[in-house]
Structure 1
Amino acid sequence: MPPRRSPRAVTAALLGLVSVLSLTACGNPAGGTGSEPGGGAASAAGAGGGKSLQINLGPDQKRVSTPEVASIAALVPAEIRARGTLEVTNSAGSVPPLTFYATDDKTVIGVEPDIASLVADVLGLKLRYHPVDWANIFVGLDSGKYDLGLSNITVTEERKEKYDFATYRLDNIAFEAKKGSGWKVRGPRDVAGRTIGVGSGTNQEKLLVDWDRANVAKGLKPTDIKIYQNAGDYYLALGSGRLDAYFGPNPVAAYHAASTGQTEIIGTFSGAGDALQGEIAATTKKDNGLIRPVQEALNTVIENGAYGKVLARWGLAEEAVPSSELNPPGLPRTAS
């Protein structure tokens, strides 16, 4: 994920939602959005004339909540229980619907904060959020400054050496191109000779690098990979034609394409490559004792329906997982 984008720019983009938002076609399997617009809202019609998704952009989110479960709360490491807070870090100000700023330019909102709030509820802890740039998520986890990372973090084999994971969403990634570009990405060959933007340090970058190496080994033209640190820059490059496509998280790409009407999705893939369905996971420092209660908290809200309400609220029901898994197979290591 790229680091912070201007909060006002993010909010303005959402307020301009007027076209079809394909992610809403799945409807709301949990029987409600758990959100009442306030302090600024936007909506988009569901695909094919389906139910409209109401997007609350205000600081008063009226988040979906769930009761504490004492038996799970008792599993939380003693230091965290004594403190009474769950220190969660994320890459804020990225782009909707993952994590971004509300209309007050300071309140962090999105599907990731909502999931974090549910976990804190089950654990009986007060949620405290720490927006940082992408790299500092891991620096903070390493140092113990933060307890938990919830920021669209993909499980990878390399990351599993230092971190523990409890999955909570499918990881699908997408190529976004200028509307009417006339090309599709169905596999590695399709990016040969193209100029593709990607976020630094992301699993998308790793996959793109691997594809490029494989293409070059076969005698195909290299991909010109451009690294970006914020959404404003790569969308400007995409709009001006300096990029053929941008490779990033599918929810972000779908939201942007729907809100502007200027881009389109030209290919989607698992975040872990062809052989494996990638998964997004809550992330802790390895062996610090927190990941098991986090996993149990996630399974609790999956079972009681609160999880489904949160995903439906942000139009991400299609990325739901049936249960949270501990340290599943992740994105393979980048070829050396």
Structure 2
Amino acid sequence: MRTRTLLLLTTLLALVVSGCGAPAASPDNGVQPSVDVVSALAKDETIAALLPEATRQAGVVKFGSSVGGQPPSSYYAEDNKTVLGQDIDIAEAVGKVLGVRIEREVASFEAILPALTSGKYEVGTGNFGVTEARLKTIDFVTYINDGQGFAIRKDDDRFQKVENLLQLCGLKIGVGAGTTFEATLEREKHICPDAGKPAYEVLTFSENAAIYLGLQQRHFDVIMSTINGLRHAAANQPNLKFLNEFKRLDVGFAFKKGSPLTPAFQAAVNKLIKDGTYQRILDKWGTTASALPESKISPPEHA
């Protein structure tokens, strides 16, 4: 199955490069990428004092970041070098409050959490949802509420909502590799055979572009991805329909378990919430419905 998925990914990405894929989403539709909501922020000495001494002296925090293909979470600007998005703005705002520079390395989504535990990165971003499985090895400082949703082609009228995974029996589902979507679907994969129905098939991809293209090319039937990402994609891509929210999850900065950075990051996010910067960032990226009232360290997964 893994080999088949990788072969399909290679084919789909070749189509993207050759110009045969679906039209790219316009980053100006529904978001305001040019609005500056960060540069005027100043260091808060009291909050910065919560950082470990070594971090204060270095003045740098090493990030591993997953960058998708479209707003609102994170994506590349038209120069294919500059990274934009909600995750980026919140991280830069936190850096300003803490008086540190964000040293960012772009990495694949599935590689970031293991790299935190190995010490390669100090912080991970990539719309990482807080789950009980991840909490065993990862700490989180939450900054947004997003979660799991579904999308299909507009010309597919088989269903209007996915309220139970039994609706997906016999279908092929495209997801990102290493995500909560893949974990949820694989964990519950038994439900269709248990009900006497054909199992659904999970196809994993490392690139968002390949997921959307695969759906339009009818290589699979349904996408399971982030609520905010699917809403934006459906508003910008032809023949794509957002179905519904399936499960909400808090999203946060990811750290290795027991990281001494978490209290400072939590305090910085809460300052941004209190002073209105947080609201301005969410307004910029069209995600105000995902606002959190406060940042927490490693809260339990939503039921």
TM-score band, normalised by shorter chain: 0.7 to 0.9
- 1:192 shift after superposition: 1.2
1:173 matched to 2:187: no
> Which letter does structure 2 place at the counterpart of 1:210?
R
The correspondence of residues 131-280 of structure 1 with structure 2, limited to 5 A, is 131-182=106-157, 183-184=159-160, 185-270=162-247, 277-280=248-251
Determine the C-alpha separation between the residues in 1 that align with 2:55 and 2:126. 21
- 1:323 shift after superposition: 0.5
State the superposition RMSD in angstroms: 2.4
Q: SS of the counterpart of 2:190?
A: helix
1:62 matched to 2:36: yes
2:33–2:85: 8 Å Cα contact kept in structure 1? no
Gaps of 5+ in 1: 18-41, 45-52, 271-276
Deviations 1:54-101 (A, max 9, x none): 343xxxx63434322111101111121111012222112443211111
Deviations 1:16-56 (A, max 9, x none): x7xxxxxxxxxxxxxxxxxxxxxxxx234xxxxxxxx4343
Q: SS of the counterpart of 2:224?
A: strand
- 1:225 shift after superposition: 1.4
Deviations 1:158-213 (A, max 9, x none): 22122211111112221110013111312122111111111111101111123322
Q: SS of the counterpart of 1:180?
A: coil
> Which letter does structure 2 place at the counterpart of 1:293?
A
- 1:331 shift after superposition: 6.7
The correspondence of residues 83-162 of structure 1 with structure 2, limited to 5 A, is 83-162=58-137
Q: SS of the counterpart of 2:92?
A: helix
1:54/1:119 Cα in 2 relative to 1: closer, same or farther (>3 Å)? closer
2:146–2:228: 8 Å Cα contact kept in structure 1? no
1:301 matched to 2:272: yes
Determine the C-alpha separation between the residues in 2 that align with 1:195 and 1:139. 28
Determine the C-alpha separation between the residues in 2 that align with 1:206 and 1:166. 21
1:165–1:291: 8 Å Cα contact kept in structure 2? yes
Determine the C-alpha separation between the residues in 2 that align with 1:214 and 1:331. 22
> Which letter does structure 2 place at the counterpart of 1:79?
A
Structure 1 segments of 4+ aligned residues over 6 angstroms from their partners: none
- 1:301 shift after superposition: 0.5
Determine the C-alpha separation between the residues in 2 that align with 1:127 and 1:201. 24
1:43–1:55: 8 Å Cα contact kept in structure 2? no
Deviations 1:93-150 (A, max 9, x none): 4432111111221111110000101111111111222111113212331232322112
2:146–2:290: 8 Å Cα contact kept in structure 1? yes
More displaced, 106-115 or 79-88? 79-88
Identity %: 29
TM-score in terms of structure 1 length: 0.78
Determine the C-alpha separation between the residues in 2 that align with 1:193 and 1:300. 48
2:174–2:202: 8 Å Cα contact kept in structure 1? yes
Q: SS of the counterpart of 2:73?
A: coil
2:175–2:182: 8 Å Cα contact kept in structure 1? yes
- 1:215 shift after superposition: 2.8
Gaps of 5+ in 2: 1-8
Q: SS of the counterpart of 1:13?
A: coil
